[in-house]
Amino acid sequence: MKPAHHLAVRDAADAELRGDAATALERHRSVPMFATSNHGDRLAVLAALGDHAPPWLISRWLTVQSRRRMWTGSDPDRVSRVLPRVIPRVYPHGVQFEPIGCEHPEQVIPYINERDWVVRQYDVYELGSLRDLLHRAGPELVSRADHIEEWCRVPMGGYRLEPDDRGPDAVRLIDLASGHPVDVLDLGILEELEPGQHLLGRVVPTRSGPGRMLDWRPLPVDRWTATAVSRNPRLWLAVLANRVAEGRLPTGFSYALEASITADLPTHSWIRLLGRDHEPWLHYDELAEPALAEALRLAESDPTAAAARRHTIGELVMDPVLGDRTRSRFAAPDFLAGWRALAEVVPGPARGRCHEMAMWCDAASGPDLRAG
């Protein structure tokens, strides 16, 4: 990168800390190699939501920012302290390139740092990157977050996922340490995992839904591992390391697709609307239009089925890959009923966009057609 590009990266990170997502997005995208970056997509979602972003989303965003370390006065050496503590324990036989989608050796470290669930959790909480960030972030940004000081202190836990019978805003987990039920904010976890699946994660406070949520998309594990972590939450990394060393967990078990900040789902999870799974180097921008057509068709023809996939569809509606040109093709009278139906089922962050699209469809019909 040129010196101007390095300056743009620093400017973008500083704007993020101030809570200025629009400026951060503009500066980040000004670097050619970041024209389609995942981080830029997250900034685009935040910029689009603006003041309407729910507090829990700001808290999740702060956990992302805490690991960026590109702002003025940041600690550039933290990554070199995080990875040596974690990689030998969860990858005792080395990192295999192909399973994580790397074409070149130099990609391995950034891929593991960004996508490995254990690396992320240990960095954000045990090594205190989130706590440190709160002393650097702008006070207005921190004030928009959701109980963020308490998030810093929440321990790891082991849980079992229960059937979806809590209503539209909550999912029930069973705390394996106590056996007690824990209702958490529904962010789509049951659209990816089956009831009975055991999980690792941190249940944090929120002002939304039932008052609790998972801080990040959780890690699916077997029952024994989840139970062992629930009994020894402070030793959760040691428990996982032992399970891997014993061959009870496969090497690379904690490496996952990039997680969305708006749902407990992978980024671009909407690809499943087309009956496809995530694939390396898949051109999602080429598939957004048929996926949206399917979502609108489903909402109009089978609202119950659309409601069961509301978070997946919401992720599509908010995904920056669905650009203005693509959306304009669906701002026509034929799609009015579909957008109105979607607005009834998708979660809050996506609902406003559905209402906006319905408004454009209605305007496109013209006064004569509406009168008829």
Domain ranges of the chain: 1-53, 57-245, 269-371
Q: What is the pLDDT of residue 69?
A: 77
State how far the Cα of 73 lies from the Cα of 70, in Å rounded to an integer. 8
Q: What is the pLDDT of residue 291?
A: 96
Q: pTM value? A: 0.92
User: Any residues with CB less than 8 A from the CB of 296 and at least 6 apart, and which?
Assistant: 330, 335, 338, 339, 341, 342
Q: What is the pLDDT of residue 365?
A: 78
Q: What is the pLDDT of residue 371?
A: 43
- Identify which of 278, 360, 263 has the alpha carbon closest to the alpha carbon of residue 319: 263
Residues of the chain with pLDDT under 50: 369-372
Q: What is the 3-state secondary structure (H, E, C) of the chain?
A: CCHHHHHHHHHHHHHHHHCCHHHHHHHHHCCHHHCCCHHHHHHHHHHHHHHHCCHHHHHHHHHHHCCCCCCCCCCCCHHHHHHHHHHHHHCCCCCCCHHHCCCCHHHHHHHHHHHEHHHHHHHHHHCCHHHHHCCCCCHHHHHHCCCHHHHCCCCCEEEEECCCCCCCCEEEEEECCCCCEEEEECCCHHHCCCCCCEEEECEEECCCCCCEEECCCCEEECHHHHHHHHHCHHHHHHHHHHHHHCCCCCCCCCECCCECCCCCCECCHHHHHHCCCCCCCCCHHHHHHHHHHHHHHHHHHCHHHHHHCHHHHHHHHHCCCCCHHHHHHCCCHHHHHHHHHHHHHCCHHHHHHHHHHHHHHHHHHHHHHHHC
Q: What is the pLDDT of residue 98?
A: 66
Q: What is the pLDDT of residue 76?
A: 64
